[in-house]
Structure 1
């Protein structure tokens, strides 16, 4: 499957928690290449998550999440969130410019080609992965992403830029 080029997205969610001083939580994010549009009416998308991953566990409890479609200028962001065995996501977001989604409260990455806020509609077990189907609650294509950039793609184990 490494011979199939895929777009690169960042899937994010906000893990709400309570502490004695009031509500707080942690933002969670992961790079994904198994992401696709499922339906236009209603607007549905699908992301494949490794079973038992932090994001899989979080989305089993938290129905709201977001997707940022990364541009070819965001390779470092994709690599940063693809790291395995990290202890905390909190520090990962510190140096990545983002805004908070108005519906999902999840981080939306600045400079992304498009952002989507979603609510889980269905989860399907598929081998060692979970397919999460989400209803798109809002979608934007920020003008700040510019027109001189293309999508970040992944092919044969490396991030690639599409030729103009």
Structure 2
């Protein structure tokens, strides 16, 4: 599957139950796709038992930022499983809080989506989370998408 090029997104959620003001969580994903236009549905694949899988099992609201090629460092930071505390992940990253989800939406992303979980499907060692799109933003519609191919972030062309 490393020979299948994929777009790179950042999936985020806000955990209101974690501490006095809650806490944000995020993860880099390449297994993300549009499922339906009517109603607008998307799907993300989460590793079972991951922080995001556990959070989205409890919190139905989440967001997706479609990363631009210039955001390779953000993708790398959120892909470092277990190496960085959730409290430090968003440090120095420009983001706005989603009006619907409360989740971080990364500034400079090619597009942002705010979603509510519609269905969770267990599939081997992953869970497929299908979300209804509740809001869409185009913070930077003119960028080049970040892609992932053969184990590395790549530039198109």
Flag whether TM exceeds 0.5 (same fold): yes
CA distance, structure 2, for counterparts of residue 135 and residue 121 of structure 1: 6
Structure 1: gaps spanning 5 or more residues: none
Which residue matches 1:6?
6
CA distance, structure 1, for counterparts of residue 7 and residue 141 of structure 2: 18
Q: Secondary structure at the match of 1:102?
A: coil
Say whether the 8 Å CA contact 2:68–2:144 is kept in structure 1.
Answer: yes
CA distance, structure 1, for counterparts of residue 92 and residue 23 of structure 2: 15
CA distance, structure 2, for counterparts of residue 146 and residue 41 of structure 1: 23
Which residue matches 1:162?
156
Which residue matches 1:15?
15
Matched, 1:131 2:128: yes
Structure 2: gaps spanning 5 or more residues: none
Moved runs in structure 1, 4+ residues, more than 4 A?
none
CA distance, structure 2, for counterparts of residue 135 and residue 86 of structure 1: 31
Give RMSD over aligned pairs: 1.1
Which residue matches 1:153?
147
Which residue matches 2:68?
71
CA distance, structure 1, for counterparts of residue 83 and residue 150 of structure 2: 24
Aligned length: 157
CA distance, structure 2, for counterparts of residue 5 and residue 79 of structure 1: 17
